């Protein structure tokens, strides 16, 4: 990976709030990260921690109201996507930036055939004619491993299994050879062998097209297998960021450490009972004034209740938002 290359996507200080009847929900708080060409960035974190909202914010996919993007810049191709005109954003989305969102059951339109839905971006963004688009759609469906792909272009989504619908979504996202692919839990409905094929396909496309990928998942095994760098989110913030080897070998944030302990394994001793992270996630009704993980943290101390920890650099491209220094086993000197 060329480390010096300028990022294809650079997000700084993103903050997204939902205005609801019950008050505000501070879903994304001061999130910053960047993505280099051809890089595979993994994103993990608790359910409700703001992973999807972060990605939907930067693609302008959240209805406003209730969503309010309060701050931040999202630089892509020399432009700030939070400032460009809606039609410019629409041209980027599904074209140069492909995306697959959670929940394929609701993301495919039940009244159109699968083929029509794959052909749509090809006609809209690449200006392909109908026959060419159909041909390419068949190729794409084959690429994601659907048996008998060309015949199945005329099927409707309900005739596909859960995992097949998910692969249709991936095919749509890849349709226009995107520079960046944002994939939000794209393989939850796939079995491990097909997941392995899809992951191989991602690695191949990054080699061939230099496509950069943001991969959101709950599966730490997938992260371990394909990510270059990893973001860990908790309570609307990035709490840890590290190259993949360092994250697993030397996790710094107490949430990451707890998370790594919860994974059941396929070999070795079978646990009588699965480990869970005790306690409840934060409500996020206000901008955080203390560490969001404090109530569940096993090493919290007084400072954690007074300030929200910033991301501390711990060296080698690794940072953690925690006042406790896991390496010295005491409060951080900062």
Ligand X SMILES: Nc1ncnc2c1ncn2[C@@H]1O[C@H](COP(=O)(O)OP(=O)(O)OP(=O)(O)O)[C@@H](O)[C@H]1O
Q: Which does 48 bind (CB under 5 to 8 A by kind): ligand X, ligand SF4, Mg ion, none?
A: ligand X
How many Å apart are CA 23 and CA 213, to the nearest integer?
Answer: 35
Residues 282-321 touching another protein, rule: CB under 8 A, are none
Residues 96-115 touching ligand X, rule: CB under 6 A, are 102
Q: Which of 115, 186, 254, 282 binds ligand SF4 (CB under 6 A)?
A: 254
E strands along 176-268, which residues? 180-184, 212-216, 229-234, 237-243
Residue 317 near ligand X by CB under 6 A = no
Tell me how far, at minimum, the Cβ of 102 lies from Mg ion, in Å.
5
CA 18, chain centre distance (Å): 20
Residue 159 near ligand X by CB under 6 A = yes
Residue 51 near ligand X by CB under 6 A = yes
If the CB atoms of residues 52 and 252 are measured against ligand X, the closer one turns out to be 52
Residue 13 near Mg ion by CB under 5 A = no
SS3 label, residue 119: helix
Report which of 172, 183, 10 is spatially closest to residue 81, judged by C-alpha positions.
10
Binding pattern for the stretch 271-300 against ligand SF4, x by CB under 6 A and - elsewhere: --------------------x-xx--x-xx
Residue 109 near another protein by CB under 8 A = no
If the CB atoms of residues 27 and 118 are measured against ligand X, the closer one turns out to be 27
If the CB atoms of residues 103 and 325 are measured against ligand X, the closer one turns out to be 103
Binding pattern for the stretch 56-95 against another protein, x by CB under 8 A and - elsewhere: ----------------------------------------
The distance in angstroms from the start CA to the end CA of the chain is: 33
How many Å apart are CA 182 and CA 55, to the nearest integer?
Answer: 8
E strands along the chain, which residues? 9-20, 23-35, 40-45, 67-76, 79-80, 97-100, 180-184, 212-216, 229-234, 237-243, 312-315, 318-320, 324-325, 330-331
If the CB atoms of residues 132 and 295 are measured against ligand SF4, the closer one turns out to be 295
| Distances from the Cα of 334 to the Cα of 124, 246, 311, angstroms | 52, 22, 11
CA 87, chain centre distance (Å): 24
Q: Which residues contact 26 (CB under 8 A, 6 or more apart)?
A: 15, 17, 236, 284, 285, 286, 287, 288
Q: Which does 284 bind (CB under 5 to 8 A by kind): ligand X, ligand SF4, Mg ion, none?
A: ligand X
Stretch that binds ligand X, among 83-91, 158-166, 240-248, 254-262 (CB under 6 A): 158-166
If the CB atoms of residues 84 and 287 are measured against ligand SF4, the closer one turns out to be 287
Residue 54 near another protein by CB under 8 A = no
SS3 label, residue 274: coil
Q: Which does 20 bind (CB under 5 to 8 A by kind): ligand SF4, Mg ion, ligand X, none?
A: ligand X
If the CB atoms of residues 60 and 251 are measured against another protein, the closer one turns out to be 251
How many Å apart are CA 214 and CA 35, to the nearest integer?
Answer: 8
How many positions of this chain bind Mg ion (CB under 5 A)?
A: 2
SS3 label, residue 162: helix
| Distances from the Cα of 62 to the Cα of 18, 56, 66, 153, angstroms | 10, 6, 8, 30
Cβ–Cβ under 8 Å, residues 331 and 324: yes
Number of H helices, E strands in the chain: 12, 14
Chain residues that interact with ligand X, rule: CB under 6 A: 18, 20, 25, 27, 45, 47-53, 66, 102, 158-164, 189, 284
Chain residues that interact with another protein, rule: CB under 8 A: 45-48, 102-103, 105-106, 145, 147-148, 154, 159-164, 167, 185, 188-197, 200, 218-225, 244-245, 248, 258-260, 262-267, 270-271, 273-277, 281
């Amino acid at each position: 990976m060329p480390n010096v290359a300028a990022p294809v996507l650079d997000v700084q200080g993103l903050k997204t709030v939902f205005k609801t009847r019950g008050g505000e929900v501070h879903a994304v708080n001061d999130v910053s990260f960047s993505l280099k060409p051809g890089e595979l960035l993994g994103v993990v974190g608790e359910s409700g921690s703001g992973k999807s909202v972060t990605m939907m914010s930067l693609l302008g996919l959240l209805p406003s109201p209730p969503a309010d993007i309060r701050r931040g810049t999202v630089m892509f191709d020399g432009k700030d996507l939070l400032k460009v005109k809606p039609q410019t954003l629409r041209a980027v989305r599904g074209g140069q930036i492909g995306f697959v969102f959670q929940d394929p059951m609701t993301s495919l339109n039940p009244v159109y055939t699968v083929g029509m839905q794959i052909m749509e971006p090809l006609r809209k963004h690449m200006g392909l004619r109908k026959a060419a688009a159909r041909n390419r759609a068949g190729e794409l469906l084959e690429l994601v491993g659907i048996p008998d792909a060309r015949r199945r272009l005329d099927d409707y989504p309900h005739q596909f299994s859960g995992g097949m619908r998910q692969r249709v979504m991936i095919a749509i996202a890849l349709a226009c050879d995107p520079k960046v692919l944002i994939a939000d839990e794209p393989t939850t409905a796939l079995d491990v062998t097909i997941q392995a094929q899809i992951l191989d396909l991602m690695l191949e496309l990054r080699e061939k097209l230099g496509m950069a990928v943001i991969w959101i998942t709950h599966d730490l095994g997938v992260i371990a297998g394909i990510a270059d760098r990893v973001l860990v989110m908790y309570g609307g913030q990035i709490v840890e960021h590290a190259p993949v080897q360092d994250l697993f070998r030397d996790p710094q944030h107490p949430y990451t450490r707890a998370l790594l302990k919860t994974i059941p394994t396929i070999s070795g001793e079978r646990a009588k009972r699965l480990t869970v992270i005790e306690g409840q996630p934060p409500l996020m009704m206000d901008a955080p004034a203390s560490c969001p993980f404090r109530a569940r943290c096993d090493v919290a101390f007084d400072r954690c209740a007074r300030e929200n920890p910033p991301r501390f650099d711990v060296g080698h491209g690794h940072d953690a938002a925690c006042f406790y220094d896991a390496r010295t086993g005491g409060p951080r000197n900062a």
